[in-house]
Structure 1
Amino acid sequence: MPILRLEMHPGRTPEQKSDFVREATRVAVEILKCPPESVDIVIHEVPRTEWAKAGKLIAQA
């Protein structure tokens, strides 16, 4: 059972998330040769205040 975990900043619309999970599931099924029912996707929205890149908080960049 593949579990795909996506972390991103908040702000995507429900439609964008729906499109993403549909396409990610399609690709997982195609490449991993598994049934769509076995693909789980978890979207975790991380606020910019809790995200850092290259040693700096993104909110402070």
Structure 2
Amino acid sequence: MPLVEITLAEGRAPEQIRALLADVHLAVHKAINVPEASIRVVVREVPPAHWSAGGQTLAERAAAAAETANTGS
């Protein structure tokens, strides 16, 4: 029974998450030809304040980008 785990920052529409689940499910089925009923796909959404890259949280990056856009710098 294949299990695919995907972690994303929060903020996507439910329709986008549903499309991701369907597309990943189909890709697993096509790639390894297992019964569709045995495929598991889990999407975990993480708050942007709980995810960092390069020592800066995604929330901090978004705030900095918004500030730059507002000041025109």
TM-score range, shorter chain: 0.7 to 0.9
In the superposition, the TM-score normalised over structure 2's length comes to: 0.74
Rg larger in structure: 2
Indicate the percent of aligned positions where both proteins have the same amino acid: 26
Number of residue pairs matched by the alignment: 61
Unmatched tracts of structure 1, length 5 or more: none
- After superposing on structure 2, the runs of 4+ consecutive aligned residues of structure 1 that deviate more than 6 Å are none
RMSD: 1.2
In the superposition, the TM-score normalised over structure 1's length comes to: 0.86
Amino acid at match of 1:49: A
Q: Tell me the equivalent position of 1:2.
A: 2
Q: Take 1:28 and 1:51, find their aligned partners in 2: how far apart are those partners?
A: 27
Pairwise CA distance, 1:23: 0.9
More helix by share: 2
